[in-house]
């Protein structure tokens, strides 16, 4: 791999900045100063440093983010703060959020550069479960549980896939857990709106095998553990054998 690609992919700097650093002699490979950006390096065996700081190459990264309300789920946005802005810098330039959470929705969001895994998690054919906690204005009843299980129209001409609904508390405002396998626009909100109810608060708790870390504060992130990545990879492996 070229040195400039190595550093650029890890988000250390632009190609122009990397050329300037090499000219200034602050880039080293295995302790030796390197002035040519096209120098070949091995991400597995070579030690690359910029101004004395080692830059480690990671081919694929997986972040768990506890998304706060008020932040848009996008890579870039000209006006709004995005979920990528919550991650550290420098960072890989090819990271992206897996799926979308509404601006006012909190909770679990996976951020990665693993395209095949993203496709497997979001594919309608995979039926990957996503569970949400919701606070709803309106009394949720066992009859709603049956409707969620059977499927119903949310205004776009087709029925929802069977969904799970667990009532945690019921009253003028109800608290529930909702599990869906689709990713239709504003789906949870539209499901309750079909009964004349309004979702007051929505938080995603899980996506497939990935569970939101209860110790992860709103707006915070961490790298997924090896066990979590392994479980996610199982979804990809199952997709490859189906």
Catalytic residues, by residue number, are 102
Place of tokens 């988000």: 11
Other Cβ atoms less than 10 A from the Cβ of 205: the count is 17
The span from the CA of 93 to the CA of 18, in Å, is 15
The span from the CA of 15 to the CA of 69, in Å, is 35
Pairing status of strand 62-67 against strand 221-223: antiparallel
DSSP of 38-102: T-B--TTT--EEETTEEE---S--EEEEEEPTT-BSSS--SSS-BGGGGS-SS--TT-EESS---
Place of tokens 């019921």: 170
The span from the CA of 17 to the CA of 170, in Å, is 58
The span from the CA of 5 to the CA of 69, in Å, is 35
């Amino acid at each position: 791999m070229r040195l400039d690609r190595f550093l650029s992919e890890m988000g250390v700097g632009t190609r122009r900045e990397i050329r300037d650093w090499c000219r200034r002699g602050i880039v080293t490979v295995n302790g030796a100063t390197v002035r040519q950006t096209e120098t070949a390096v091995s991400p597995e065996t070579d030690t690359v440093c910029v101004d004395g700081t080692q830059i480690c190459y990671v081919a694929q990264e997986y972040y768990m983010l506890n998304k706060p309300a008020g932040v848009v789920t996008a890579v870039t946005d000209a006006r709004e703060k995005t979920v990528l802005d919550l991650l550290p810098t420098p960072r890989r330039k090819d990271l992206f959020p897996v799926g979308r959470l509404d601006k006012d929705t909190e909770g679990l969001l996976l951020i990665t550069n693993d395209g095949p895994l993203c496709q497997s998690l979001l594919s309608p054919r995979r039926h990957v479960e996503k569970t949400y906690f919701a606070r709803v204005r309106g009394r949720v009843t066992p009859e709603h549980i049956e409707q969620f299980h059977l499927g119903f129209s949310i205004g776009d001409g087709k029925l929802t896939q069977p969904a799970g609904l667990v009532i945690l508390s019921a009253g003028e405002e109800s608290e529930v857990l909702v599990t869906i396998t689709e990713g239709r626009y504003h789906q949870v909100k539209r499901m309750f709106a079909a009964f004349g109810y309004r979702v007051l608060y929505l938080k995603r708790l899980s996506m497939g095998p990935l569970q939101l870390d209860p110790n992860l504060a709103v707006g915070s992130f961490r790298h997924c553990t090896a066990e979590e990545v392994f479980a996610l990879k199982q979804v990809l492996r199952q997709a490859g054998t189906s």
